[in-house]
Structure 1
């Protein structure tokens, strides 16, 4: 039975989802498509967050009966897979790899960050298992080509890509939360006063030393670049 639930308990059959025809097999041809349904769900998530994306709400957005949507996406887990792959189509890479895998991998990560900032719901959607569709696989293919000069085996390259993706998703989640917090200046000022008091209490010398160190650029872009360099430059390919 179709589910409008918010969990992924139903599971997804990748062959059914990606390799078989997507149009309903019986009845008259509908005035909407799986692409239109997915695009409506993405637009809704971009505007209001992933939690508002339900089959009923998406059906209202496309002007369809909710039951008719189940021919395309029998549950929310399937819809989330469709949404992730839909936006992954924005990650088209046309430039060839340079041969400098560390530089190219940093470019991959910067593309992912910009992509997740355009779709703030994406880190949460990626936090559970997703069945990669054609757009996701195309970007993965590029990332694996970037890592070819390392000489690592396939499993290790997949692990590195997963590690980078997880780092970017975590950073973007933190970045979005920090941006929201910065819109409450009283709270930010209170946090600074609190840390200053803790650093001065004599019980946290390491923290006091860290906070007294010369400042570095704290823009999200600069901080992301520093964190990313530490991660990628420190990868062991031996």
Structure 2
């Protein structure tokens, strides 16, 4: 298969190719930006080596000289959007800092709706991701737990963010595809659920859902979930 390396390799360990000939070369940043534009506009399935090459104005085989595999293209995309994280001087309040990180990551996923589908440890150690990870660990300096435990905390925060953002994005996408309004869809489903709960067959579920008579505040739910994760990793109860 064209561009398939004979052995596993990491694209960051390869020298960045400079194009030769009459046409200017393309940087990895150029390639990543083109792929991200396509994914943002049309979804991850629209991203292919052929499509990215066309976006850049080069031949598909020429692109393989810069990016040997599609997996490498995904890694370039992940690194590019990870570079959008704002890295600030930690405040000393580790909870506030990690909540800020989480909100930034959630906003990043809403800007790039394809991102939750690519979240994987496989793409976890590119240059911008490593800078992000180091920043998180500096934010967590005040927490008296082992470094490995801090890594687990960062992973759990990312998992919570990915879950919430993924649900929000998929719900929004489904709503847009309906031939009727979201309010109509919600009303029909609420009526069905109300009838099932009124039957008495699900008393515990009815009691639990009774606390949500009003529409769920997604922001508040996001904050509560993150707070519980942070609490679990701070057994001494240190808030700063």
Same fold per superposition (TM over 0.5): yes
Q: CA deviation at 1:233?
A: 2.5
Contact 2:143 2:234 survives alignment (8 Å): no
List runs of 5+ in structure 2 lacking aligned partners.
none
Q: Deviations over 1:156-185 (max 9, x none)?
A: 111111111111111100011222344443
**How well do the aligned residues superpose, as a CA RMSD in angstroms?**
2.4
1:212 correspondence with 2:210: yes
Corresponding position of 2:64: 70
Corresponding position of 2:197: 199
Corresponding position of 2:81: 87
Corresponding position of 2:54: 60
Structure 2 counterparts to residues 1-238 of structure 1, below 5 A: 1-2=1-2, 13-14=9-10, 17-24=11-18, 27-28=20-21, 30-31=23-24, 32-94=26-88, 96-127=89-120, 129-183=122-176, 184=178, 185=182, 186-213=184-211, 215=213, 218-237=216-235
Distance 1:117 1:214, change over 3 A: closer
Distance 1:87 1:74, change over 3 A: same
More displaced 10-residue stretch of structure 1: 103-112 or 181-190: 181-190
Distance 1:142 1:11, change over 3 A: farther
Contact 1:37 1:58 survives alignment (8 Å): yes
Relative to the length of structure 1, the TM-score reads 0.87
Distance 1:217 1:103 in 2: 27
Contact 2:137 2:150 survives alignment (8 Å): yes
Distance 1:148 1:117, change over 3 A: same
Relative to the length of structure 2, the TM-score reads 0.86
- Helix, strand or coil for the counterpart of 2:230? helix
Distance 1:35 1:109 in 2: 25
Paired positions, count? 230
List runs of 5+ in structure 1 lacking aligned partners.
none
